[in-house]
Amino acid sequence: MHTALTSEQIASYRENGYLAVDNLLDETELASWRQAVDQAVADTIAKDSASHDIRHNQTGEGYYQQVFMQCVNLWKSHATVKALVLDARIGQMAAEISGASGIRLFHDHALIKAPWANPTNFHVDNPMDPYHSQQATMLWIALDNATLQNGCLYFLPGSHRTSRYDTTSHLGQAGIGDLIADYPEWACIKPQPVEVKAGAGIFISGMVAHAAGPNMTLNPRRAFAMLFMPEDVKFNGQQSVLPDEVFNRLQIGDAINDDEHLPLLYSQDAPTP
Ligand SMILES: O=C(O)CCC(=O)C(=O)O
Ligand SMILES: [Fe+2]
């Protein structure tokens, strides 16, 4: 795994709100991630046809269901995925890029755009999360080449610097550009497509506006993402995909530090081996 980040890469992330890291995974690692994620997705779908989209719990034939197929927290059900995801090197990269002193895993999710999948609407991630933080970040790993044809990500560069937690236009709940109604000043920011090769990783600020195109090819566009929580965040009252057990214990303002469900991947104070 190519984990070294240069100061230019970190500066670019801070400037734009995202950073593509080419060849994050080498060929052998990519093969392992594909195998682990494919198996975990197949098992999850076979077990419970509704559980593959617990974030939105859509079981109908609606538009959002055809944006992507989403399987959340595969690290909990599959030891093969867990071994890949609970990696201190990944946590350290997320800490370096975001400036957080330590990183917990909030959740993972496989994001598969099937052939003919609808576009992913422009949205900002962190307003939906159970904690609000400028340092929230996600690592989106391409398991296939992500292209203009099959649904690569798009960004509004720099939008993380002016986005707010009260954004109302959420993932799957709005049209492709409805977010602009919340931020008329972003209407002049040119959407930037980011095509990457399989094995690349894109760090995405929890505050940057992003989207993805439709899949106009005959093959799926597979990606696997990990959402990272800075170690010192406070609960804001939103459950999102927090397990009931964790959610029911928390009061607004409490530190979110459940080691079982939200494992600490890396901390400056106590570096994990
Ligand atoms: O993979 C995609 O199409 C976008 C995923 C995304 O933005 C998210 O899960 O927050
Ligand atoms: Fe997102």
Q: Is the dihedral of CA 182, 170, 110, 219 positive or negative?
A: negative
Nearest to residue 75, comparing CAs of 65, 63, 67, 87?
A: 87
The whole-number average pLDDT for the span 191-206 is 98
Pairwise CA distance, residues 134 & 179, whole Å: 19
Which pLDDT value is given to residue 54? 39
CB neighbourhood size of 223 (10 A): 26
Tokens representing 121?
A: 């609407």
**Is any atom of ligand 1 closer than 6 Å to the C-beta of 120?**
yes
pTM: 0.94
Pairwise CA distance, residues 152 & 213, whole Å: 6
CB under 5 Å of ion ligand 2: residues: 125
Residue 147: strand, helix, or coil: coil
pLDDT exceeds cutoff 60 at 56: no
Asked if residue 152 belongs to a domain, the reply is yes
Residue 149: strand, helix, or coil: coil
The CATH number for 94's domain is 2.60.120.620
SS percent in the chain: helix, strand, coil, step 5:
30, 25, 50
**Is any atom of ligand 1 closer than 6 Å to the C-beta of 262?**
no
Query: Torsions phi, psi of 124, nearest 5?
Result: -125, 135
Domain that residue 234 falls in: 7-267
58 pLDDT tier (thresholds 50, 70, 90)? very low
Dist. CA 203 → ligand 2 center (Å): 11
Number of domains in the chain: 1
59 pLDDT tier (thresholds 50, 70, 90)? very low
Asked if residue 1 belongs to a domain, the reply is no
Q: Whose CA is nearest to atom 1 of ligand 1?
A: 111
State which ligand 1 atom lies nearest to the alpha carbon of 67.
Answer: 3
**Is any atom of ligand 1 closer than 6 Å to the C-beta of 68?**
yes
Asked if residue 183 belongs to a domain, the reply is yes
Dist. CA 273 → ligand 2 center (Å): 30
| Average of per-residue pLDDT values in the chain | 93
Question: 11-21 burial string, b = 16+ CB within 10 Å, else e?
Answer: ebbeebbbbbb
Asked if residue 107 belongs to a domain, the reply is yes
Asked if residue 118 belongs to a domain, the reply is yes
Asked if residue 179 belongs to a domain, the reply is yes
pLDDT exceeds cutoff 80 at 272: no
Asked if residue 273 belongs to a domain, the reply is no
pLDDT exceeds cutoff 90 at 256: yes
- Measured distance between the N- and C-terminal CA atoms of the chain, rounded to whole angstroms: 16
57 pLDDT tier (thresholds 50, 70, 90)? very low
Residue with tokens 């992507």: 68
